[in-house]
Amino acid sequence: MTMTSIAGRLSSGRRPAGRISWLLAALAFAALLLPQVRPASAQYTTKCWAGDLTSATATLPEIPEIASHNGILKGTVVLADAQRSVTLPKKGSNGEATCVPQLQRFFQRGESTVNPDEVNPPRPGPTLRGQLGDVVELIFLNQINTLDYGDSIDLSQKGIGTGCDSVTNGSGYPNFPKGTVPASDTYPNCFHGSTSGNLHFHGTHTSPSYTADNVFLAVAPSPRAGGAPRETGALVQAEFDSFFANCKAKLDATNLLEWPATWSEMGLPKWLERQKAMMADFDKGKPDAQQLLRADDMVDKAGGFPQYYIGSFPYCFLLPHKPINQPVDQGTLRMGQSPGTMWYHAHKHGSTAIDVSNGMLGAFIIEDNSPEGYDGYIKGFYAKHPNNRGTKGQKVPDQLWPIKETVMVVNQVAGTPKLETGSGSGPVPFSINGYVLPTVSMYPGEVQMWRIVNGSTISGFYLPAMPPGFTWRQTAQDGVQFDTPNYISREERPVFVAPGNRIDLLVQAPAKAGSTTSFPVQVTQGVSQSGAEKTLTPTTPLMTIMLTGSGPAMNPTPSDPADGFPAAMPPRPAFLNDIGATNAPERSLNFNTAGQGSGHSQHTIAIDGGPQAKFEEGPPLTIAKLGTIEEWKISNTTNGSAINDPIDHPFHIHINPFQVTEVFDPNAPLQDAKGHTIFKNGDSTPLYVFSGTCVPNKNGNGPHPVAPCWTATDQCLLDGNVAASWHPCPAMPSPYSRSTNIWWDVFPIPDGITNPVTKKGVIAGYFKMKTRFVDYNGSYVLHCHILAHEDRGMMLQVNLAPTPQMSMMQHH
């Protein structure tokens, strides 16, 4: 039998013809026993939870919360799966959204019974809402039904083997033809392990180890009995509660304690016995390299904290509270947790892209409600505002907030990731809280606080402005409030929100309703900040604001002394004052994508001029001791400009945030002092010009009469032949610093550009940042927050103050 004979006959729902009658009769009889292609009752299209630009057809849903009480943020997060409506990139013939039911894996609050015939909209996981000083006590359950997804391996042998989610269509991932350069993906830097999960608490300053923000954990799905998961909340509750009580007592007593460091310290003998039994069962028939219990036992015997679990895991960690007026050099706790908009998401290497795009994410709000704290200050301003709803005798939107606070989790809900950018059907649409183009209602003059999380695994968005008539202020970036100078300087300043970034906005609707009641909020979608900034007119609607209802406007008349926004921000917590002098040499990291657009791109990081390497291919980045203060230059030699596909790899590091001190984007457009790109005849003006591509005028100002370098006086002249000149001009003010530097935990590394003078080589984009490695030692990671890049290797292990007793994790 040859291969061609397999497919020698392709039917289209018809039975073969041209046989002799007796054979037809026999076949007809046989056909009664066979499944037929028949009009099926199965539903391959489903309702769309998508709005349009003119009506309130998809009101932004509110997300259920798990809120803390009495110093404990306690709840159950379940990794579940069910049918959800996924909006296709390609619209219908009339421009309408088209949706299909897809089995998706996502976080939800608590356990629930799945109706297999019910299709719900996508939705992020519950919003976690805690306070500084809380102990987080989360029961994490993985109840995915593995029957619904292909067998995906957590642990395997490094290199080419069986660990990757390979495909069999003869041309797909990672089965590239032999000799392909660059080589195909190899384990562990390939898509794999998609039914296991864990929780990364993005933006927290806490322990990176054990039961805290430990992204090396992998919790596989519970085995099932009678179709239901065996590992349930009811089964683990009592034992976990005992562990949580012990954990809280210890962390409350010592806020720098990293505990439990071993299985024996957990004190969960029954649970561990059950874990071992489930793992032993799971491991049956598997090669040594894929056996979870074997891997765990080795770590346990070496005195480390094992990383593989099945069905359940107890997360317990502290949100350390440092007194707001205590600077970094006072107190045993140096940094403390910043209050602000954080988020959490799955961080299982090899499957972060598919997991987060399916719905394994949620917002994590950490509040400081003291009068001088971030939340307390803003609440106090509106509580005392003369036109506050409460003072006008109206019901306030929420007992916790005198103005409406809206949490918006942006995502691009998608299926299984491909290596490159899909099939040309267009980008996956943004959703907010699961709805595509949702409607946000405001009454005229109302002020709302929006906490926006960009949980997209691939795209950033550039918000150049709010709709006409709306005013706005950004109050925080990545969960750290602005102080007054940056708050004022960034008044209605356009903002690029990279994957992983968060922004807090105060938004005020126009005081008077006009004839128009619906206002689309338009953004530019992409992964290049400068590319987005150079777009004259944004065309991607993110949401629609509907002006409806009535209430007390915050600034109803010009004569009213009360404004809609605070005039200032409270001082930042003293431990978030600007980082001063470093105490270690400068480091450099280079992010690079090779073979971009080829269908088999490779994503790597180089340390201090060393070789480009994927995760675990090279040595980890080691910070010798706690208290180290460093400045890093993080560059990007990806040359998207050559193929008109720039990529600003969003740099993210766990545990300790950083301050950006310098940015060089060779593709940047010229902007005015308010951050608006300057367009002439629809085209942007480049910020940087290179000698050799033009003739500079004598005094550096004004256009040259023959070959002008400058078309505007604020441009920056660089020498294409002198690498030392490839940095921002000294006179250029940083947009990320007014008196003080802004804190970030994700920053898009500007894309490179082909040297316009030599026509070869890449002038890298870069940014510089300062950070402090303080308080908690252990292993964690930095990586690109385009999560398919991270899954495929653009990640680096950071070992902070390793000790001989510390067993460094293997992330798979």
Partner 1 sequence: MSGSLSWSVHIVAQGNGAAYKPTIPGAQIGDPVKAQVGDIVTWGNATDLVRQPWPTVGNAADGDQVPEASNPPGSKLYFSGPINPGGSSRPQWVVPSALPDGTPLVATSVINYCSKDHPTERGQIVIF
- Which residue number, 322 or 792, has a Cβ lying nearer to partner 1? 792
Q: How many CB atoms lie within 10 A of CB 96?
A: 11
C-alpha 332, offset from chain centre: 31
- Which residue number, 499 or 752, has a Cβ lying nearer to partner 1? 499
Of all helices (H) and strands (E), which one includes residue 475? strand 471-477
CA distances from 532 to 35, 459, 565 (A): 52, 11, 28
Closest C-alpha to 663, from 609, 732, 711: 732
- Which residue number, 171 or 550, has a Cβ lying nearer to partner 1? 171
CA distances from 234 to 231, 241, 312, 678 (A): 8, 11, 11, 60
Contacts with 32 (C-beta within 8 Å, 6 or more apart), sequence order = none
Q: Is the peptide bond before 561 cis (omega within 30 degrees of 0)?
A: no
CB of 44 to partner 1, least distance (A): 5
CA–CA distance, 231 with 242 (Å, rounded to integer): 18
DSSP helix/strand/coil, 471: strand
CA distances from 610 to 176, 248, 587, 604 (A): 27, 43, 11, 11
Angle at the Cα of 222 (from 219 to 226), degrees rounded to 5? 170
CA–CA distance, 647 with 295 (Å, rounded to integer): 37
Would residue 667 be called left, alpha or beta, if left means φ above 0 and alpha means ψ between -120 and 50 degrees? alpha
CB of 477 to partner 1, least distance (A): 25
**485-491, long-range: CB < 8 A, 24+ apart:** 485/738, 485/739, 485/740, 486/737, 486/738, 486/739, 486/740, 486/742, 487/568, 487/569, 488/568, 488/738, 489/738, 490/675, 490/738
CB of 372 to partner 1, least distance (A): 43
- Which residue number, 84 or 572, has a Cβ lying nearer to partner 1? 84
Closest C-alpha to 475, from 405, 417, 413: 405
CA–CA distance, 104 with 86 (Å, rounded to integer): 9
CB of 36 to partner 1, least distance (A): 8
CB of 501 to partner 1, least distance (A): 18
CB of 88 to partner 1, least distance (A): 8
CB of 460 to partner 1, least distance (A): 13
Closest C-alpha to 812, from 192, 282, 297: 192
CB of 31 to partner 1, least distance (A): 7
- Which residue number, 28 or 643, has a Cβ lying nearer to partner 1? 28
Q: What is the CA radius of gyration of the chain?
A: 28
- Which residue number, 38 or 698, has a Cβ lying nearer to partner 1? 38
CB of 4 to partner 1, least distance (A): 4
* Residue that the structure tokens 């109706």 belong to: 115
- Which residue number, 36 or 399, has a Cβ lying nearer to partner 1? 36
CB of 461 to partner 1, least distance (A): 15
Say if residue 558 is exposed, middle or buried (CB neighbours under 10 Å; 0-12, 13-18, 19+).
exposed
CB of 753 to partner 1, least distance (A): 24
CB of 104 to partner 1, least distance (A): 9
CB of 126 to partner 1, least distance (A): 25
Closest C-alpha to 602, from 310, 190, 150: 190
- Which residue number, 74 or 785, has a Cβ lying nearer to partner 1? 785
CA atoms within 13 Å, Cβ hemisphere of 224? 12
DSSP helix/strand/coil, 282: helix
